[in-house]
Each structure stands twice: as structure tokens, then as C-alpha cells.
Amino acid sequence: MEPDYIKLSNMTDTIISIWNDMFHENIPFEKINLILNALAGTGHQYLILTKRAERLYEFSRKYKICSQDNLWFGVSCENQKRADERISLLIDSRVSNRWVSLEPLLGEIILPYTNLLDWVVVGCETGSNRRPCKIEWIERIVFDQTGDCVKGKRPVFVKAIQGENGKVIKDINKFPESIRKREFPNISRISYGKK
């Protein structure tokens, strides 16, 4: 499987999703540790996304590699139930950088622990059999109850929305002005290759 990339103009490439889920039950912790040690010594930022927050939590308790500044650990949450389960485990994990991916957003989510998250990515489902995603749900994330995202305390990246006809819109210029957000975390504090 090819990795997905986001090209950032002010830093080196950031890699998202090297595999489907690094914390899958079939991948032993020893192998994950080897992979993360290899990634930690590079001049790149790595976003590692999982739906298996319990394995990330357990791994981070056994291996110190998760505290490397260039490793960003995130959980994917599609609804409130999953957000409540996964984000609390992410917060309790021993990692330096925490982010959440709320995609596909399949219901309204009130983000727990927003003050402890470093980045929020949100978007609708984009496949051919996509389920509905209301603009109000995305607005709720952008203008969360603490105001962290809108005040710039918590960068938020709106990836895609659904238009009135259910068509996926990825062009930020076609988003409602209130949710035209494609922000990245400030990584100037990172010292590459630090182990």
C-alpha cells in the first residue's frame, strides 16, 4: 500500500498512514518499536493514525520511543462513542504529540480534552457509498465548546465537506467561510533526530 502524503510548504513532507493501522493486533510490539525507532531518527514528521487506541496506550507504557518529537500519534473517531473511548486512551498514552482525525465524521461530536490535543483534522466520508455528514457537525468541531480551535489554540484542518446534493467538496474556497480552516500545528520546537 502506498503511503498518503500531505505536502507542507513550511516543512518537510509529513507522512500519514504508512500502513492501514500500525497498531493492528497482528503486528507485534517489537516490530512497531523497530519501525518507530527508524522513523524517529529522520528529518521528517510522522503522523501515525490508529483506531486501536488501547494498543497505542499499552505500547506507550512499554516503549519510550513514543515520546519522540517527530512522532505524532492520533486516533480516528467517527462518532461520539468512539471519540469518548479512543481520545481518553490517547490522552493517557505516553506520547509527545496527540491529534485526532474525525473522519469520516458520521455524527455530532463534542470533543473531550481539547486542551490536551495538538491538532484536529475533520472531514466527511469521500467514497462512492458515503454516508451523510452535516456542515453543523463540522462547525461544532471548528467552534468547539472551549473555543480552542477558533482562537488558534488548537489548529484544525477541514479536509472535505458534503454539499447540499451530497457531493464531496475538497476545494477550501467552496467551503462556507466559517469553516475555511487548513491549519497545521506549530512544529518549530522540534529538534530532528533527537533520541
The domain segmentation of the chain, as residue ranges, is 4-179
pLDDT in tens, 138-171: 998 988 745 656 555 788 999 999 998 889 999 9
Calculate the average pLDDT of the chain.
84
pLDDT in tens, 5-49: 444 444 555 555 555 799 999 999 999 999 899 888 787 888 899
pLDDT in tens, 60-91: 999 988 888 889 999 999 999 999 999 999 99
Q: Is the pLDDT of residue 195 over 90?
A: no
Q: Round to whole Å and give the CA distance between 175 and 170.
A: 8
Residue 184 buriedness (CB in 10 A; 0-12 / 13-18 / 19+): middle
